Structure 1
Amino acid sequence: MTDAHTEEAGWEERVAALWERIDTHAPEEFRERIAALAAERPEDDPAALFERGAAHDSTGQPAEAVELYRRALGLGLTGPRRRRAVVQLASSLRNLGRPDLSVELLTTERALPDDRLDADERALGPAVDAFLALALADTGRDREAASLALGALAPLLPRYNRSLAHYARALLTAPDGS
């Protein structure tokens, strides 16, 4: 293993360990600790920018998070962090009163073909669906939101998978009773 690879793995382990202890830190202290880890990397490092954005997001500062997520994505963030950044950016935008932008981002993300995603990115598919359902509900598209949420839930049930999946799809074509 190269020194750079070992250093990268060590940084990732320290970031993961800090996230595991987020609830033991005051919000400002947590952001400072993440910022200190991010400062070990180049200023334009997408992973470090993402982690800073996530720290702001998780401690109640979505506006600051949005800027950091956008910078990280613009600098070419890749892999599962890229998909997480899209989900988290969309969630923050929704929380800031822009569910329309959230729907746009998550609809685009959801349309990515599976063969362009690695296994860890594909595993985040239900998160994309869940946050898209929230954003759809906030834009008044309740039936689409329910359809998406129920469709994502269907495979997890011990029984009634086919029925629930069918009913979820039917929500998009059935009259809404209005």
Structure 2
Amino acid sequence: MISPSSDTEDWERRIGALWAALDTYDGAGFRARIAELADERPADDPAALFERAAAHDSTGLPEEAVGLYRRALDGGLTGLRRRRAVIQLASSLRNLGQPDRSVELLVEERAIPAERLDADETALAGAVDAFLALALADTGRDREAASLALGALAPLLPRYNRSLAYYAKDLLGTGPDGA
């Protein structure tokens, strides 16, 4: 139930402060605090469902998180939380032995044109690639995983950017000398 003093901005501030203090709680205590804040919102509120999912995920309960992530996404979660939910859902599925489903989700996420994303969502492109690389490795697609990881790393290096980007593509035979 939404209390009169709990506007969205204040709720977001309190959620952020709680996440900043994550390491001061045990898992059950943290989930309980997130649940208290989530209970201030309607039961089907996508942001509150996402926060519950992330709390379960971050405290070692990915099985419980998966359903909550799906409910949040199905409920119309948008923006940065939507992108985070896809990444975190894919990671949980990979950890639960479903790397193929993880790959599917992250390939779809990676295919979203940059112009449809805001700056915060775009900033997570490297995270999408990193978790996709992990999922690809779990499916036995090691060269694709290495290529993706190295390609994501290349722009971050102070030198050798061009060379590393070339070698990343070359792993798949798509460099200047490949197909």
Measured against the shorter chain, the TM-score band is: over 0.9
Amino acid at match of 2:114: D
Q: TM-score of the superposition, structure 1-length normalised? A: 0.94
Structure 2 counterpart SS, 1:163: helix
Aligned to 2:99: 99
Shift in Å, 1:173: 1.5
> Partner of 1:13 in structure 2?
13
Query: Amino acid of the residue matched to residue 62 of structure 1?
Result: P
SS at the partner of 1:126? helix
Distance, in Å, in 1 between the alignment partners of 2:133 and 2:76 is 27
Corresponding letter in the other structure for 1:12: E
Partner in structure 1 of residue 138 of structure 2: 138
One-letter amino acid matched to 1:41: R
The answer for the alignment partner of 2:119 in structure 1 is 119
Distance 1:164 1:29 in 2: 44
Distance 1:85 1:71 in 2: 10
Query: Using the alignment, how far apart are the partners of 2:105 and 2:172 within structure 1?
Result: 21
- Pair 1:22-2:22 in alignment: yes
For 2:169 and 2:46, the matched residues in 1 are separated by: 38
Name the SS for the 1:130 alignment partner: helix
Aligned amino acid, residue 142 of structure 2:
D
TM-score, length-normalised on structure 2? 0.93
> Once the 2 structures are TM-superposed, how far is the Cα of residue 43 of structure 1 from its aligned partner?
0.3
* Consecutive aligned runs of 4 or more in structure 1 exceeding 4 Å deviation: none
Give me the whole-angstrom Cα distance separating, in 1, the residues matched to 2:137 and 2:167: 18
Q: Tell me the secondary structure at the aligned position of residue 33 of structure 1.
A: helix
Letter in structure 2 aligned against 1:60: G
What do the CA deviations read for 1:47-70 (whole angstroms, capped 9, x no partner)? 000000000000000010000000
Aligned residues: 171
Q: In structure 2, what is the Cα distance between the partners aligned to 1:26 and 1:148?
A: 35
In 1, Cα distance between the equivalents of 2:26 and 2:62? 17
Deviation per CA, 1:75-104: give whole Å up to 9, x if none. 000000000000000000000000000000
1:1-44 deviation per Cα after TM superposition (whole angstroms, max 9, x unaligned): xxx8x811100000000000001001000000000000000000
Determine the structure 2 residue equivalent to 1:149: 149
**How many angstroms apart in 2 are the aligned matches of 1:28 and 1:158?**
42
Aligned residue identity for 2:48 = A
User: For 1:66 and 1:148, how far apart are their aligned partners in 2?
Assistant: 25
- The code of the aligned residue for 1:173 comes to G
CA distance in 2, matches of 1:55, 1:36: 12
CA distance in 2: counterparts of 1:72 and 1:161, whole angstroms: 38
SS where residue 33 of structure 2 aligns? helix
